[in-house]
Structures are given as structure tokens and as C-alpha cells.
A and B are shown apart, each in its own frame.
Chain A
Amino acid sequence: MEHIITPKVEYVKLLNRYPEKKSVLGTLYLTATHLIYVEQTNNTRKETWVLHHHIMSVEKLPLTASGCPLLIRCKTFQLLHLLFQRERDCQDVYQSLLRLFQPVKEEELYAFLYNPHQNEEDRRQGWEFINVANDFSRMGLSNDYWEISHLNKNYEICSTYPSILGLPKNVSVATVTGSAKFRSRGRLPVLSYFHKDTKAAICRCSQPLSGLTSRCVEDEQMLQAISQANSNCPFIYVVDTRPKLNAMANRAAGKGYENEDNYSNIRFQFQGIENIHVMRNSLQKLLEVCSMKSPSMSDYLTGLENSGWLRHIKSVMDAGVFLAKAVCEERASVLVHCSDGWDRTAQVCSLSCILLDPYYRTIKGLMVLIEKEWISFGHKFSHRCGHLDTDPKEVSPVFTQFLECVWQLSEQFPCVFEFNERYLIEIHNQVYACQYGNFIGNCQKERLEMRLHEKTFSLWPHLLKNQHLYRNPLYRRSLECTVLRPSTLPLHFKFWCGMYNYYDRGMHPKQSVLDQLLSLTQKQVEGERTMTELQRVRGVVGVVDFVRVERYLTDMTLSPSHPFTAAGCCRWKRASQTLRFQITLLELNPPSSKSRGIHFLPNGISITLS
């Protein structure tokens, strides 16, 4: 709170993107966690809440005749253009925000304050809800080829890897430690995904410290072991996701890529995904395009092309498709790496998992996948998202690109994902929000040291609770066993307006098919419930058909001799939940005075004879 110089400023304008729409005056509030802008016109109160952690940059623009403008750009791609009447207010808000939006210490992050009204037990269960070890069992580990290893339980072999690792069966400790020493930051080749049907595996690691000539027997043995774990294919692919030029440059620094001559039976392949710096600049350019004021079609398309964004998305997708094809068509195992194996490698491995395995296309499956390939394998969320005031060169939209690839797939395959676009956008927002502890820290070891499981809550139970919002009404389970084979021709990639222009609601379709279908599925649930209830009631009515009544009357010896041809009528009283039949018998067969009156049948049915 000590950073808030001024908690409330009045007469602030929120400038609209479209000049023709009038902006009104409102009040700006700064709280410990949010910036809140309140617009009060007549009877409507409009509030805009922005989490401080969602702010990417705050910029004071040159003074204008109408006031002091402040431009706030958000990591969620929201853009706030505020106009203050007094320079002083603008400066105060600016100063406060600078300190608030990028805290220096981890403890200042929202997650350490936030309590979703859960007790300790809920918290513990919440964190245990997604368990990576369970996913290994789901894949069928341990089996004859792969086993779960606890060699890294103290994070001694690799500090940025999880404590449990999937390794080829019977691989020796010496091989493991030797291989780790030959890999950048000790990130040795380990299992990412085991494809039960083909026995092919996707493994991941970092670049080898091969330099120009170095080799390592243990690393070669490690790859040999991975290859031998799959008898369906005599070779493994080694995929370096970087452009060849980048990989070559690394050789001079003692790193590099595998020499095919040193490893038996590997097929080496570059994929050409650019590094984090290129991606950061590309997004920057894309966002400039998104925030252009009334651009022409040509400005927009040229800007889109020049940003290179879709080209990068395509390069990630191409690599993912390559992996999936190798696994399901060639039945070959694949080892993937980039430089450190925590950005491009995470993108490509997780994307190929989605292509191969329908489980990861479910709401829970995507959580598992993110937890496994991103969080536990040490994608540096804190650095990449710039949670804290650290090196801006570490920030990069690597995870955003992964989410976009999933969205691109969902556009080509509208029925195979259990979730809709909003799920991806919500996850994206939560990654940057730091409201839950999942995406804080850079690796498992760091998170453990921060005691996140004790101090913060997990996002996943929260998402699951709201899953009705994220359902894809078109999801069809019957299609789930198929491997996705997307087209990667450039024209099948679209600009994701729903993400990058999320806050420009005017650009979106004015009627949402998704909303329409979601409300229909909701109605369907209610309709089915009503239907069952009504059928039950009618079932009772149906049971008391004429035959039953007749038999009853016969049993009662009310009409022993004459055929029962009464004209009758029935009445159902909902209020008393009883059924009442009024039977008027033919004159030929008048009921005796004894039998006149009301008779009660089982099931609360009554018969009145008159």
C-alpha cells in the first residue's frame, strides 16, 4: 500500500478507440491489487478493473490541450488511454503504477494475498488435483520399455527438471549422470510422451555441449537406450527446433547439436523456430497492428505480414505436426531439443501431444499437459511473463504461442476439443494474473523453495468449477480416438481476433454462436430433467389404465357378471399427487350402494364410483 501515492482521482476520461463515441468523465481508484475506473452516467455504473500484474507498460504521452494522457498497455492486450485534467494526478498515478505493476519481491505477487475462501484441506486437495505421475500411469508407465525414476528427487542431476523422470528401462545411473553433464544445464533426454499404440516415444532435452568436436559416450548410450525402447523402428529422430544457423552459432560457444556420425541410427532434423527475442519483437509488432486507429485493409495485412507472427505460429505448428507424424505414421521415437529445452521444446512437445492424444484435448487433459510439459519441465514462467521487475529481455510470448496453436487447431477441428476459445483466453489471463500460484517461479525446485503449495492456491480447481463456461458444445467424444492431421498451408492460419483484440468488442461478431449453443445445451439439461419428471407422472397415469381399473372393480366384485363397458373419465389432481377416476357405470349395471363412493388403489390412486 505504501506505493500508492494517490488512491483516487476524479474527472478522469477513458478515451475510446473510436473517436466518434463520446468519452465521459469517471473516477480512477488504485488499490493494492487493481486499478479501477468507474464511469457513472445517469443510472448506469460501468466499472473497468485491471489487475496490476496484467499491466505490461505505463507510458505518459505528451500533454495535450484536453489534458494529460496516460497510456496503459496490458499483457492481456487491453489498452487503456486515460486523460487526466491535472498533470500532478497523472504523474502520481504513473509513479504508483510503475511500482505496483512490477513488484520486486515474489511475496508481493497477488497470489500471496489471495484467498478464495478455502480451508487448508481444500488447498491441499487443489494442489493434488493435477498430478503428473498419474499421467505417466495413464500412458502405461512403468512398462517393459520405460520406467519412472526418482534419480532427480533432490534436483541434483538437473535443477530445472521435475523430481520424477521417465527414463528408458534399465538405463544405468552412470549413463544418466553422464548424459546430463553433456547437456546444457543438465537437461538430459527424458520421456515426454509415450504413445501406447506404436510404442514410439517423444523425449525432450537441451542442446548437447558438443562444440565443434566433443562427444560423450553416456549421451550416445542414452540415445541408444531411447532407440532400443522402441522395437518398431530402427532409428530415432533428433529434432533441433532451432534454425540451423542459430544452432551452428552455438557450436562456437561449446554447445550445438548432435553429430549424426557419433550417434548410431539417429536422423537429425532442424525445424527453424525462432528464439524468444524474435518472438517478443514479433508480438510487439503484431500488437502495433492491433492497436492501429482505423487502418486500411492494406495497412492491416501488410502489418500482419511484417510482424511475422503467423509465420512463427506456423513454424511451431509445422514442428508439432512433424513429431506427430513421425510417431504415428513412422512409429519412430523422437528426441526434441532447442537451446535450453524449455521454450520451443515445450511448445513442440505439448503440441504434438495434443495432435496425438485426445485426452489432452479435454478440459482436464489440457491442465495436465500444461502442468507436465510447461510447469514441471521448467518453462520459466516468472521470467517469460515478467511477473517481477527483472530483465525485460527474458520476457517472451512462448506460452501464448502454444495457446494460439491450440486455437488454430480448434478452428480446423471444431468438434475435437472439449473446451472453447474462452478456456484458452482464461488460462492466458491467469498465467499473467499471478492470482494463483501455478505460474509463479521458473521451475519445480524454485516453487518448492517458495512454498507455493502452502502459501497460494492452485488455479485448476477454480477453472474446473467454472467449466460450464469453457465447454465446447460441438465436442464429440466419438471422434476422440483420431490423430489430428491439420493442414499447415499458410492460408489455414488466421489472425486470432478473439485474443489480441479481445477488448475491442466492436470487432467481434455481434451475435455469438458459442453463447447460443451454450445456452441451448443448458436448456437441454433442464429440458431433459423436466421431461423425466413429467414422464414419471404420466407413467403413473398410464399405469392406471382402463384394464387396471377394470380388474380392480372385478376384484371388488362390483361388476361380477356384466361386461365392463363403462364410459369413464379420469382426473388427475396435481395438487394432491393422486389420480382420481370417476367411473360412471352403465345403467344396466348400477353399482350397489355399498360400492358407491371412493375406493383407494395402491399408488395413491382413487376411484370414485357414482
Chain B
Amino acid sequence: MEFAELIKTPRVDGVVLHRPFMPTVEGTLCLTGHHLILSSRQDNTEELWLLHANIDSTEKRFVGSLGTIIVKCKDLRVIQLDIPGMEECLNIASSIEALSTLDSVSLMYPFFYRPLFEVIEDGWQLFVPEEAFKDLESMTDEWRLSEVNKDFSVCPSYPSLLTVPKDIDDESLCKAASFRHGGRFPVLSYYHKKNGMVMMRAAQPLTGTNGRRCKEDEKLINATLCAGKRGYIIDTRTIAVAQQAKARGGGFEQEANYPQWRRIHKAIERSNVLQESLIKLVEACNDQSHSMDRWLSKLEASNWQSNVKEILTTACLAAQCIDREGASVLVHGTEGTDSTLQVTSLAQIILDPACRTIRGFEALIEREWLQAGHPFHQRCAQSAYSNGKPRSEAPVFLLFLDCVWQILRQFPCSFQFNENFLIMLFEHAYASQFSTFLGNSVAERVKLLLSQKTVSLWSWVNRPQELERFLNPLYEPNNLVIWPSVAPQSLLLWEGVFLRWNRSTKCLDEAYQEMAHIIEYNKELQNKVNSLRRQLAQLETEDSPLQTP
């Protein structure tokens, strides 16, 4: 298909762009296959380059022959384009509509994007399971890397290599897979070096109404327990929801069959509920009403903050079982691709200082989200302004980032990255020139030949020029477990994302610059003092030759 077919009017002059807290720009609007571009053709004025993939929905209005298109983006920004001429406006609107809702993955921008920078470190090669396993091997020999899923037939949403207990053979894994939703049998998520406890994740067991059991599954998870020790199963659903799942063939681990495990139910909402929550929250944030009661009641009704609290609480629980109770943990919900991953990844941020570095965090996202089969393509197809019929969109990953931000806010010196890094990940998960978040699983990405045809986000982010923006000046590595507070007073609305376009950030940016400046200046000062001290010490002790003039 040619994009040109979809672009009836590629260019309109005299278009006026309105953005909140920015001066209006008048210029020429151009549509390309992947971008909406507005340029005033003057120096010093910023051009607008908007990926069609970033557009969540559009609205059009007419006053006489002046048309207005309101463009609502997945990164939550809302812009307005005033377009002279009714026909032009209609054409542009329909092109945007068509281009922003292309279904085929292979037409997405990452397949057309050619980087203007030299790829020094290929992001596709950065985080391979073999490497992670080498680290594990240095700490314990109780695990092995299984190739049982090498053609993705045992579990289509798992990667080809999986870390499983050494004593469990591939045949048992297949049997356990047939007992778990989507074939997602229990695999290693995290090994806690301090006490050797582990966190595993899976999907729900398929016990059904007649209480099916699977010896191999039981044996598999019991293999992770030390003799005489009990473990915890954290089911991210309420007991009621888990009971209902039985009717559809799902269920939960029965005490009788898993006597060494204690099951705890939490109440993380399912993805469709989360999408609803996001839509309501963003609607509340965009409400220009001056009524405080209205704002607070809308904020409450959106349930977003409740979701943040519940997810963080569950992650703290998992971390507590491992670090404080010295017990191993198995986490699952229904499919094991959403709430499960929120919990396992956040628990690692709490427990493992390595996950709080930039590389470590990238590795975490790679391991616990991309390779673990979070269906990014489905979940991020639409964002808060979608007005179509909801399919499987859900801000599962955004909620995870929000929770990370909450921890970052409470431990501002413990992360190597800053808030901008998290916001950048949010943006790229929804629309990007890079293909890291394309597809729903490793299998799909392999099939799309992403690593050959497209550029990884990490290839770009990890360049020193880019990284600079994302470094937290306050960072001081700390090897402790960090326990966030989950009291409602401690959990704030993530303004950096949700109020980002509703306020002027000038003063806050200045404050950030000032903070960075103080820290930078101090470092320089200390360096100078040290080098002076060294110089003088040298003069004092050594014979240093005088320079001939």
C-alpha cells in the first residue's frame, strides 16, 4: 500500500498551531506517511513533528470556512490546528485519521526510520538471556537455561530461553506448561543474592471447576524451596475473582496440592478497568473548572491513585516475603502478562540496587516486560483519548512507570536515572521511531525481523549525548533494599506525565537546572581543590624540575 493514497492534501499554507503555554505558530502543514509537520519556515521557531502513531484521536470543528482540528496525542498532549479552507481541513483530518490507525505493524515508522546517528552499541545485543544467566550461575548452580521453548511452541508468549530449576527436565516443563494459562509455566524472575531466595512468575493454574492438578507443576515450584521451608504464592487477584476464573478453566493453587505454599490474594485491577481509570484521570486533569471539590472527587473516582497504591503494596509484599521472611515467592494473576509483571519488576527495584541504574533498569524492562511477553502492541494501541471501542488497551506499563516514579520521589538519591527517563519510556512505549516496544512477544518480534530491519531504542538512549538528559544528578549508589511508603499521603499524582501539558514548566525546569548546577559546581570545586592539594603535595615531597621559560 502506498501512503500517498491516504494523503489527499499533502500541504496546506497558513495553518495556525495552538499549544498550551507556548506561543502560536503560523506556518505550512505537511503530511508525510508517518509525520504531521508544521513549519513556520522561520528561524528560531520550533517546528512541530508529530508521529501519526502518537495521535490517539482527533476532533474537527468548523466556523465558516475555517476548520479546526484538535489533535489528542497518546503522550496526553492536546494541540489545535486552525486550517483555512473546509476541503483542506476535511482532507487533512481524514488522512490523519487513516494514517494514525494503520493496523499493520510492518507499516509502522520504525521500519522506515533510518538513524542519523551511528549505532555504536547495538541495543538488540545488549540484554540477551545468556548474559543474565551467566550472572546467575556465578551465584548459584541450582538453575539451568532451558531451550524447551526454542520454537515458541510450548509457550508463545515466552522467550526461547528460560531459567528453570536444574532438576526439572524439559518434559516436565511441557506438562507444567499445559497446566498453566497460555503455557506460562513457573520460571525464574529474580534471585535474591543476599539470602538465596527467589521470585518466580507464571500464569494461573488451569484447575477448573473440578480441581485438576498437575504433579509436574507442583514438583517444579517445590524444587525452588529449601528443605522444610515454606513459600508464598501471591495471586494478584482477589479470592472472588480467582474463584470466578475456575468457571473459565482457570483457578488457583489448592492448599491440599501445594502444602508448602501459603497463598495471598491481592486486588490489582484487570487491564480493561485500568484503561477506564486512565481515561477518567486524564479527563479530570484536563478539566478547567475551578471547583476544588470537583477535581478531588474526579481524581478519587478515576481510581488511578488507588491502582498505584495497590500495585506498590503488592510489590512491597513480594519483596518483604523474600527479604524479611526469607521465603521464595511465586507471583501470578490470570494471564501472567500484566499485573504479574508489575509486581515482579517493582519488587526487583525495591530489592536490587542494580535495577536502579540506567543499564539495570533497561535490562529489567527487557527481561520482565519485553521478553516476559507483556503485549505492548495491544496494550499501547490507544491511550487516554481513545474514543473507539476498547479492545485490549491498558496502561499497565504506564502504571508500572508511575510506581517507579513514586519510589524515585521517595528515594531521590537512589536512582541513576531521573523522571525524564521514565517519561521518555512512556512516550516510546506508545509511539516511537524505534521498534523496541513493537509486537506482543519475543516470537512476534523474531518474526518481524526487528533486529535486522529496525533500530532498538537502547541503541539511541545509551549514547552519551542522550544519556546526559536522563542522569539523576543526586544519584549516589546505595546497596540497600529501599522500602517505599504506600500511605496515601506518600503517593502523589505524577505531575510530570499527567499535568505535563497543563502547566508551564518554566519554574520547575529552572529549579532542576539550579539543582544540577549546584551539584555540578560542587563536584568541580572539589576536583579543583583536590588537584591543587595534589600539586602542592607534590611540590612538598618530590623534586619536580623547573620549566625553562
Interface residues of A (CB under 8 A from B): 290, 294-302, 304-305, 308, 310-311, 314, 318, 412-416, 473-474, 476, 479, 487-495, 497, 501, 504, 506-513, 516-517, 520-521, 523-524, 527-528, 530-531, 534-535, 537-538, 541, 545-547, 549-550, 565, 567-574, 581-583
Contacts and interface: CB of A to CB of B under 8 A. Distances in A.
B129 to A, nearest CB: 34
B499 A491 contact: yes
Interface stretch (B196-204, B422-430, B454-462, B487-495): B487-495
Contacts, number: 192
Given A506-B487, A509-B410, A304 B518 contact: no
Interface of B: 284-285, 288-297, 299-300, 303, 305-306, 308-309, 409-414, 474, 482-485, 487-493, 499, 502-504, 507-508, 510-511, 514-515, 518-519, 521-522, 525-526, 528-529, 532-533, 535-536, 539-540, 543-549
Contacts of B284: 491
A438 to B, nearest CB: 31
List of 7 A-B pairs having minimum Cβ-Cβ separation, nearest first: A300-B488, A414-B511, A490-B295, A305-B296, A301-B300, A572-B539, A311-B292
Given A510-B411, A520-B519, A569-B544, A493 B292 contact: yes
Given A305-B300, A524-B518, A569-B543, A491 B529 contact: no
Given A490-B290, A516-B413, A572-B540, A507 B490 contact: yes
A301 B299 contact: yes
B290 A489 contact: yes
Contact of A487 (B293, B294, B410, B503): B503
A513 B516 CA distance: 12
Nearest to A530: B529
Contact of B536 (A294, A474, A495, A572): A572
A520 B522 contact: yes
Contacts of A506: 485, 487
A41 B165 CA distance: 45
A95 B526 CA distance: 58
Nearest to A519: B522
B522 A527 contact: yes
Given A476-B514, A491-B285, A569-B544, A531 B529 contact: yes
12 contacts: A297-B300, A301-B305, A305-B292, A414-B510, A416-B507, A490-B291, A491-B502, A492-B503, A511-B410, A524-B522, A531-B528, A546-B548
Contact of A297 (B309, B413, B502, B539): B309
A489 B292 CA distance: 8
A510 to B, nearest CB: 6
Contact of A517 (B297, B489, B518, B539): B518
B492 A494 contact: yes
B532 A534 contact: yes
A507 B548 contact: no
Given A310-B292, A415-B511, A297 B306 contact: yes
A532 B199 CA distance: 55
Contacts of A489: 288, 290, 295, 502
Contacts of B306: 296-298
A528 B288 contact: no
Given A314-B292, A476-B514, 5 more contacts: A473-B518, A490-B290, A494-B492, A547-B549, A565-B548
A282 B397 CA distance: 38
A569 B526 CA distance: 28
A538 B489 CA distance: 54
B294 A490 contact: yes
B524 to A, nearest CB: 9
A474 B516 CA distance: 10
A569 to B, nearest CB: 4
A26 to B, nearest CB: 25
A414 B510 CA distance: 8
Nearest to A521: B518
Nearest to B521: A524
Nearest to A528: B525
Contacts of A581: 546
A414 B305 contact: no
Contacts of B539: 541, 570-572
Contacts of A549: 546
Chain A CB within 10 Å, residue with most, of B289, B300, B504: B300
Given A492-B503, A504-B487, A534-B529, A297 B305 contact: yes
A296 B488 contact: yes
B548 to A, nearest CB: 6
A308 B297 CA distance: 12
Contact of B533 (A290, A474, A534): A534
Contacts of A547: 549
A541 B532 CA distance: 12
B525 A527 contact: yes
A513 B412 contact: yes
A534 to B, nearest CB: 4
A528 B295 CA distance: 48
A285 B364 CA distance: 43
Contact of B532 (A308, A497, A535): A535
Given A490-B294, A501-B489, A531-B528, A523 B410 contact: no
Contacts of A538: 532, 535-536
Contacts of A305: 292-293, 296-297, 300
B489 A491 contact: no
